[in-house]
């Protein structure tokens, strides 16, 4: 049961210090409006306080998420935000997480972490309680504070340092069970965002080096989004650029042998002088041909590589090590040559995923010189044996190409894949761009900028292995469960709703997130106007409508502007003029509409309630 205060709030008794001007550092609409509408105040860089109005909307996002999580059988728990550093050492992330992880010590000198996410805490809790397969599958969630020491917090609560996340973690005996929960979560996420009035684009995402098998991000289109999405015009495909693939724009031979056969008619490899020519552009100009004819070869350094390199060229001396006591063995550092068609860019996220590396980066010039035996600019796959060569699939279709000759001012022409070189690995490494072909229907792909609101991810065994979680099957045999994780940022979701729903005057709340359903503005809260206002408020309250009563002694213009700014979906104005006569009336206006209507006082509450409930039903359907 809601208390009186939950239904009706008097403007004069709450704290809604709206602003006409906004601080200069607020550059995006949601940040500006959240400050101006007095939802939010900044405490420090990346740290914000929700004021009463903002908190009401925040709680509504929270309630929607909770309802949808409960509906799919996820169980809410509430761990602490500060967790023992030990758990993070077990998982290996104490060392691998970098500076975003806030590490603190207590008075006894023990290490703690202020949770940026909670795989460790949930895995540890489940480890202690799990014994039998009968307890699985199990989905647990929390809606709780997170802290990430973001380098550049910006755009208000879109990227704060402290924020609130719904994070869920599921545990399973097998892949099918994990997939079932993953699908359920995906459906729940679609419902959550729909109920919040948000248009989200679910996209396939990178599942990372940890061997995850599925990953979907829920994006909203946004100019300030730091994700690039590739979308099919026919709606057949949507992916984060980190993951996006495309239909081949070349015809690849079936095998290296077929490639070699196809190259039979190509002239033999020839070394040519290319003085002072290093870049693809310079080469194109020098040889008067286009970039698609070049095999671009880049030397990469990779950190903590999990892929087995024992049979890879140039890797026989590499030693494996464990970054953390229970973590899998990795090569702390390894170098690779990546060959790709000259008009394309290497997708470093794909590369890192393929070689299971924590991080990849272009090698330093001195490393390039050591590996290729030439200054930067002359790397090529022919005769390169100091590092493993990884070729993008486009290279397999190249049989009369130009490539660096591993010597200063020299290139090879007539280079043929299969005849002149055979890479250690062939895989998809290209960065897909607008104009490339949809991998499903072959139609054109286009790009959009996106902001991530939520993420669902099949984690697999990463944490359950490193943190030694086990259960017994029906035969008493011990197994490790597989795991999924599922996050949504509440603050970012709320801010995104404002990004999608506003006009020049202020916010246009989807009714499900509006701090109040109705704002009632008596022109002067006194006499007959006050009596009618109180009557309508009482009737609306009876029906469960949430009302902000602007009882302030302000000019009507000020109250109207604030009402528009705050964005409450329905406005009722009670004034002397409309109350005079046989059938006293009030003005009713939807925030999204220009015109108001006169409604008889005796019918006002019924009519408003009908509007509110049908708007709610529409979004909650
Ligand atoms: P981003 O790439 O934007 O930093 P992320 O990949 O780090 O996001 P996750 O770790 O998947 O995000 O966290 C789940 C959700 O938490 C995100 O989808 C986002 O809504 C929210 N979130 C993450 N970082 C922040 C932040 N600094 N401020 C507000 N919300 C955040
Ligand atoms: Mg992040």
Q: What is the pLDDT of residue 1?
A: 43
What average pLDDT score do residues 79-107 get?
A: 94
pLDDT, one tens digit per residue, over 295-324 is 999 999 999 999 999 999 999 999 998 866
544 shares its domain with 602: yes
Query: 478 with 554, same domain?
Result: no
Predicted local confidence at residue 209, as pLDDT: 57
> What percent of the chain stands above pLDDT 70?
97
CATH of the domain at 569: 3.40.50.800
Cβ count within 10 A of residue 88: 25
Do residues 471 and 520 share a domain? Answer: no
pLDDT at residue 329, as a whole number: 87
Are 281 and 367 part of one and the same domain? Answer: yes
For residue 604, the surrounding DSSP H or E stretch is helix 601-620
Which ligand has the nearest atom to the CA of 164? 1
CA dist 57 and 39 (Å) reads 9
Q: What lines the ligand 1 site, CB under 6 Å?
A: 117, 148, 150, 159-160, 163, 165, 452-455, 487, 489, 491-492
Ligand 2 mean position to 158 CA, how many Å? 11
Q: Whose CA is nearest to atom 22 of ligand 1?
A: 489
Which helix H or strand E contains 61, and what residues bound it? Answer: helix 52-71
Write the residue with the smallest CA distance to atom 23 of ligand 1: 489
What tokens does 491 get?
A: 């603050």
Residue 236 lies in a domain: no
Ligand 1, pocket-test mutation among 62, 240, 452, most atoms within 8 A of CB: 452
Task: Characterize the bridge pairing of strands 445-460 and 482-489.
Answer: antiparallel
Do residues 261 and 361 share a domain?
A: yes
Structural domain boundaries enclosing 573: 4-13+516-620
Please tell me the predicted confidence (pLDDT) of residue 436.
96
pTM to 2 decimal places: 0.92
Residue 172 lies in a domain: yes
Does residue 83 lie within any of the structural domains?
Answer: yes
Ligand nearest to the CA of 159: 1
Atom of ligand 1 nearest to the CA of 453: 20
- Cα separation values, 467 from 91, 213, 255, Å: 6, 20, 42
Do residues 349 and 406 share a domain? yes
Model confidence at 378, pLDDT cuts 50, 70, 90, reads: very high
108 or 325, which is more confident? 108
Check pLDDT > 80 for residue 327.
no
Q: What percent of the chain has pLDDT over 90?
A: 87
158 CA closest ligand 1 atom index: 29
Q: Is residue 440 part of a domain?
A: no
Q: How far from 618 is each of 95, 160, 196, 197, 519, CA to CA, in Å?
A: 48, 32, 11, 10, 21
pLDDT at residue 257, as a whole number: 87
For residues 318 and 273, state if they share a domain: yes
Band of the pLDDT at 4, cuts 50, 70, 90? Answer: very low
Query: CA distances (Å), 319 to each of 248, 328, 580, in order?
Result: 37, 13, 90
Q: Is the pLDDT of residue 326 over 70?
A: no
Q: How does pLDDT run across 577-618, given as a tens digit for each residue? A: 999 989 999 999 999 999 999 999 999 999 999 999 999 999
Strands 389-392 and 425-427: parallel
In this structure, the residue with its CA closest to atom 1 of ligand 1 is 452
In a domain, 38, yes or no: no
| 42-69 as b/e: b if 16+ CB within 10 A | beeebebebbebbebbbbbbbebbbebb
Q: Which letter does DSSP use for residue 13 in this model?
A: G
Residue 3's pLDDT is 46
Is the same domain home to 314 and 368? yes
- Establish if 528 belongs to a structural domain: yes
pLDDT at 2 over 50: no
pLDDT tens profile 283-297: 888 888 899 999 999
Distance 444 CA to ligand 2 centre (A): 30
Instruction: Provide mean pLDDT across the span 6-28.
Output: 91
| pLDDT at residue 101, as a whole number | 96
**115: domain CATH number?**
3.30.930.10
Same domain for 269 and 183: no
Which CATH number goes with the domain that contains 400?
3.90.960.10
The predicted-structure confidence for 474-522, as pLDDT tens digits, reads as follows 999 999 999 999 999 999 999 999 999 999 999 999 999 999 999 999 9
Identify the DSSP state of 59: H
- Nearest ligand 1 atom to the CA of 165 is 16
Query: Three-state secondary structure along 85-153?
Result: HHHHHHHCHHHHCHHHCEEEECCCCCEEEECCCCHHHHHHHHHHHCCEHHHCCEEEEEEEEEECCCCCC
Residue keyed to tokens 């660096």: 404
Mean pLDDT across 102-110: 97
Residues 170 and 287 in one domain: no
Atom 20, ligand 1: which residue's CA is nearest?
489
Last residue of a domain, one of 376, 394, 427: 427
Q: How far is the CA of 87 from the centre of ligand 2 (A)?
A: 21
Is 26 a domain residue? no
Same domain, 63 and 198: yes
432-477 confidence digits (pLDDT tens): 999 999 999 999 999 999 999 999 999 999 899 999 999 999 999 9
Does some domain include residue 234? no
Total number of domains in the chain: 3
Task: Give me the pLDDT at residue 353, please.
Answer: 92
Q: Which residue among 203, 487, 493 is best mutated to probe the pocket of ligand 1, counting the most ligand atoms within 8 A of its Cβ?
A: 487
Give the pLDDT confidence of 146-170 residue by residue, as tens digits: 999 999 999 999 999 999 999 999 9
Which domain-ending residue is among 427, 461, 482?
427
**For 178-234, how does the pLDDT look when each residue is reduced to its tens digit (9 = 90+)?**
999 999 999 999 999 999 999 999 999 988 655 556 999 999 999 999 999 999 999
Q: What is the dihedral of CA 157, 158, 163, 164, to 10 degrees?
A: 110
Residues 274 and 402 reside in one and the same domain: yes
Question: Which residues are CB-contacts of 108 (< 8 A; sequence separation ≥ 6)?
Answer: none
């Amino acid at each position: 049961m809601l208390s009186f205060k939950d239904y009706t709030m008097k403007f004069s008794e709450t704290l809604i210090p709206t602003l006409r001007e906004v601080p200069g550092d607020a550059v995006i609409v949601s940040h500006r409006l959240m400050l101006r509408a007095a939802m939010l105040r900044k405490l420090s860089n990346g740290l914000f306080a929700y004021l009463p109005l903002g908190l009401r909307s925040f709680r509504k996002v929270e309630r929607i998420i909770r309802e949808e999580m409960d509906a799919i059988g996820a169980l809410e728990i509430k761990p602490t935000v500060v967790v023992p550093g030990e758990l993070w050492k077990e998982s290996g992330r104490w060392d691998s997480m970098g500076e975003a992880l806030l590490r603190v010590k207590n008075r006894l000198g023990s290490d703690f972490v202020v949770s940026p996410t909670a795989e460790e805490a949930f895995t540890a809790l489940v480890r202690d309680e799990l014994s039998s397969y009968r307890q699985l599958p199990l989905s647990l969630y929390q809606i709780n504070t997170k802290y990430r020491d973001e380098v550049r917090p910006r755009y208000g609560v879109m990227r704060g340092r402290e924020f609130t996340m719904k994070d869920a973690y599921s545990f399973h005996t097998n892949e099918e069970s994990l997939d079932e929960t993953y699908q359920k979560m995906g459906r729940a996420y679609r419902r959550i965002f729909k109920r919040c009035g948000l248009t989200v684009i679910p996209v396939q995402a990178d599942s990372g080096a940890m061997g995850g098998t599925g990953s979907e991000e829920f994006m909203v289109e946004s100019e300030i989004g730091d994700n690039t999405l590739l979308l099919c015009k026919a709606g057949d495909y949507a992916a984060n650029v980190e993951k996006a693939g495309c239909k081949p724009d070349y015809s690849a031979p079936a095998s290296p042998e077929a490639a070699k056969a196809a190259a039979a008619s190509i002239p033999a490899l020839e070394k040519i002088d290319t003085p002072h020519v290093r870049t693809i552009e310079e080469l194109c100009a020098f040889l008067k041909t286009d970039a698609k004819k070049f095999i671009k070869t880049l030397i990469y350094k990779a950190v903590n590589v999990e892929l087995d390199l024992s049979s890879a060229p140039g890797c026989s001396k590499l030693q494996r090590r464990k970054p953390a006591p229970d973590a899998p063995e990795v090569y702390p550092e390894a170098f690779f040559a990546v060959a790709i068609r000259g008009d394309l860019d290497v997708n470093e996220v794909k590369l890192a995923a393929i070689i299971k590396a924590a991080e990849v980066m272009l090698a330093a010039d001195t490393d390039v010189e050591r590996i290729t035996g030439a200054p930067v600019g002359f790397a090529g796959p022919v005769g390169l044996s100091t590092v493993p060569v990884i070729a993008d699939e486009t290279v397999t279709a190249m049989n009369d190409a130009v490539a660096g000759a591993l010597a200063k001012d020299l290139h090879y022409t007539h280079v043929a894949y299969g005849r002149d070189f055979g890479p250690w690995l062939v895989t998809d490494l290209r960065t897909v761009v607008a104009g490339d072909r949809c991998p499903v229907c072959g139609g054109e792909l286009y790009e959009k900028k996106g902001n991530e609101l939520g993420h669902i991810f099949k984690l697999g065994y990463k944490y359950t292995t490193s943190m030694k979680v086990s259960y017994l099957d029906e035969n008493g045999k011990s197994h490790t469960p597989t795991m999924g994780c599922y996050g949504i940022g509440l603050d970012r979701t709320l801010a995104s709703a404002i990004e999608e729903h506003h006009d020049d005057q202020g916010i246009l709340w989807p009714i499900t997130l509006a701090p109040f359903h109705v704002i009632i503005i008596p022109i002067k809260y006194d006499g007959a106007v006050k009596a009618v206002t109180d009557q309508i408020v009482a009737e609306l309250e009876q029906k469960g409508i949430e009302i902000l009563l602007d009882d302030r002694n302000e000019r009507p213009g000020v109250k109207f502007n604030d009402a528009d700014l705050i964005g409450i979906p329905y406005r009722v104005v009670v004034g002397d003029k409309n109350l005079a006569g046989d059938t006293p009336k009030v003005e009713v206006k939807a925030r999204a509409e220009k015109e108001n209507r006169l409604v008889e006082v005796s019918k006002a509450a019924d009519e408003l309630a009908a509007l509110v409930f049908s708007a709610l039903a529409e979004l909650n359907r």
